[in-house]
Structure 1
Amino acid sequence: MTQSNFQASLSDVDFESVYRGGPLIDGLPEGAPSTPWDIGEPQPVLVAVEAAGQVRGTVLDVGCGLGENALFLAGRGYRVTGVDISPTALEQARQRAADKGVEVDFVVGDATRLAGLDARFDTVIDSALFHCLKPELRNDYLAALHRVCVPGGTVHMFCGTDSGPAGMPVPFPINEEVLRDAFGTGWRIDELRLDRYTAVFGREDFAGLLTSMGAPTTGVDELEVDDAGRLRLPVWKLAATRL
């Protein structure tokens, strides 16, 4: 598998199949994580946002997956709704919520529509969703975000950057210009900078993934890791207020 084929395959991921135990894409080496975004805990970058007092009111987690971010925020006392296209992911998220003793309203839905959720949320979280959307779907998604936010509501978005390491598992890496254009009308960008997003794999696993794609592994040994040895990959961290 070549790197270009890998990126193309990521753009057509069947997330329901993945959450049912299928591979992220065909052709990955045995043992490669199928959900590299699920670290079994909330993303540290989101934890920092909440600790800074930047989450308020009612919260929507779009593309919530297995729900760790939503569960964290619910545990902090917020009223949280989680939306995902995968019923299986939400079944598992509900079980995790029950195990933790927290309440989250998990809803199966299309992120580009967010039907039935208009004007309900003070805070919206997009944790690694935007870079999964095909470019032709972005305008619909942005319109849906605007509809579900109350005036003055805030979107916090973490998305893969095009300046990351070669082979970074992101379907559509995003550059700064795309984000500034996306939030240029109907929003005020309050923050846009590079930050770090924790992945489930470490340097060795990532190097093996790159090798399987025929991509170079140069620089992998220098990639930042956390105390558990998990990669901390570069992402855009955006905060935008709905006008």
Structure 2
Amino acid sequence: MRPTVPDVRSYFTKAYSEKLPSRHEWTAGTASPELIKLVWDQTIKPHSKVIEVGCGIGTEAVFLAVRDMEVTAVDISESAIETARKLADVYGVNVDFHVADALNLPVGDGEFDVFCDQGCFHHLTDEERGQYVKEVLRVLKPGGLFVLRSFSDKIPGGPQPRRISSKELIDTFASHFYLEHLERVLSFSTEQRQFPLGWFSLWFKSE
């Protein structure tokens, strides 16, 4: 059973502590093609300072560290972070992992060139979205890149993750960020969802 909005944090904390990573439908075992391309074409430049929220078991955080980024990664699940640290050890890279909430990040102001979110924003309530925007703005440098990937309204129903429309994205972020790119992209099919289409968007913080 999928969680409702109020108990989504406890849902993921429990899920990571009770199941192997391969048993979670959101685990891909690799960085997404969209993130790989951003590094490949140097939209995310070498040696950038990157923060990832909702990092899970650290697959993308470790990918970024392997590609010479200075990475901080956050998840609400202690079990997920424990696994992520082991993965970083396997690759011999340093990632600054934290057990923390995306709405209260344990980092200073204006520290990061890039803010990455794959699958956190679409779990927030309407009330939490405002605080989320404040945190993204707080930790990004002027002109910093915000990479957002989320469920879209083209994925069939269910209370969680929330299905997000393009209007919601623009209404939430356009007052503070320049929209560079917005498209629906295909994710891996699972038993729960065949050919799911989510959002991939790039935003730059206003100077």
Question: Which TM-score applies when normalising by structure 2?
Answer: 0.88
RMSD of Structure 2 on Structure 1 (CA): 2.0
Query: Structure 1, residues 61-94: CA drift from partner, whole Å, max 9, x if none?
Result: 1111100000001000111110111111111100
Work out whether 1:237 is the aligned partner of 2:205: no
Give distance in 2, aligned partners of 1:18 and 1:123.
Answer: 28
1:170–1:53: structure 2 CA closer, same or farther, 3 Å change rule?
farther
Give distance in 2, aligned partners of 1:239 and 1:167.
Answer: 25
Give distance in 2, aligned partners of 1:156 and 1:113.
Answer: 19
Q: What residue number does 1:206 align with?
A: 192
1:130–1:34: structure 2 CA closer, same or farther, 3 Å change rule?
farther
8 Å Cα contact 1:19-1:86 kept in structure 2: yes
- Shift of the alpha carbon at 1:47? 1.2
**Which one scores higher on RCO, CA 8 angstroms, separation ≥ 6?**
1
User: For 1:117, what is the secondary structure of its paired residue?
Assistant: coil
Give distance in 1, aligned partners of 2:24 and 2:160.
Answer: 12
Give distance in 1, aligned partners of 2:158 and 2:23.
Answer: 14
Aligned-partner residue type, residue 131 of structure 2 = D
Select 1:16's aligned residue among 9, 13, 37. Answer: 13
Question: Which TM-score applies when normalising by structure 1?
Answer: 0.76
Residues matched between the structures, number: 200
| TM alignment of 1:85-104, pairs within 5 A | 85-104=76-95
* Higher Rg of the two aligned structures: 1
What are structure 1's unaligned runs of at least 5 residues? 1-5, 24-32, 208-219, 224-232
1:106–1:123: structure 2 CA closer, same or farther, 3 Å change rule?
same
Aligned-partner residue type, residue 170 of structure 2 = R
8 Å Cα contact 2:54-2:120 kept in structure 1: yes
What are structure 2's unaligned runs of at least 5 residues? none
Select 2:98's aligned residue among 94, 107, 123. Answer: 107
Q: What fraction of aligned residue pairs are identical, expressed as a percent?
A: 32
Q: Following superposition, which runs of at least 4 residues in structure 1 exceed 6 angstroms of deviation?
A: none
User: For 2:39, what is the secondary structure of its paired residue?
Assistant: helix
Select 2:167's aligned residue among 166, 169, 177. Answer: 177
8 Å Cα contact 2:117-2:148 kept in structure 1: yes
Aligned-partner residue type, residue 129 of structure 1 = C
